[in-house]
Amino acid sequence: MKIRKLIITGFGPYAEKQELDFEANLDGKNMFVITGNTGAGKTTIFDAINFALYGEASGSERDGKNLRSDFADKSTPTEVGLWFSLRNKDYYIKRSPQYFRAKQRGDGFTESKPSAEI
């Protein structure tokens, strides 16, 4: 499997839409390396890929209900989009976890149901 692109919105520490193109600027090379300081979000990227593929985060202490960014605006959805290739076929998965977000009007929270589309 070759991961091509990842878009995360309202996921983990990322409040707004973030796009990672794993094919950009490779200059003919076949490897994309994710590096960064502790706390920079490397595990969140792995969690997002794992969540898109399997519907769960990579670690046992992280589940769908706590994948939503604490910093996301109440109108921002929590979702992951993943483009990948497998056996010369291209695929796209879009997945959202179950989470509670602030109501658009009034006080309190409303539940967003989990969803997945391929």
Instruction: Please list the pLDDT of the chain residue by residue as tens digits (118 residues).
Output: 999 999 999 998 899 999 999 888 777 777 778 888 988 888 899 999 999 999 988 776 666 667 888 888 888 999 999 999 999 999 999 999 988 877 878 888 888 899 999 9
Query: CB-based contacts of 95: which residues, under 8 Å, 6+ apart?
Result: 51, 52, 55, 79, 80, 114, 115, 116, 117
Q: Give the pLDDT confidence score for residue 62 in this predicted structure.
A: 64
Helix H or strand E segment including 62 = none
pLDDT at 75: 82
Domain boundaries, the chain: 2-117
User: What pLDDT does 99 receive?
Assistant: 87
Distance CA 5, CA 48 (A): 11
Q: What is the CATH number of domain 2-117?
A: 3.40.50.300
Query: d(Cα 21, Cα 35) in Å, to the nearest integer?
Result: 15
- Tell me the C-alpha to C-alpha distance, in Å, between residue 6 and each of 79, 88, 101, 106: 11, 19, 23, 34
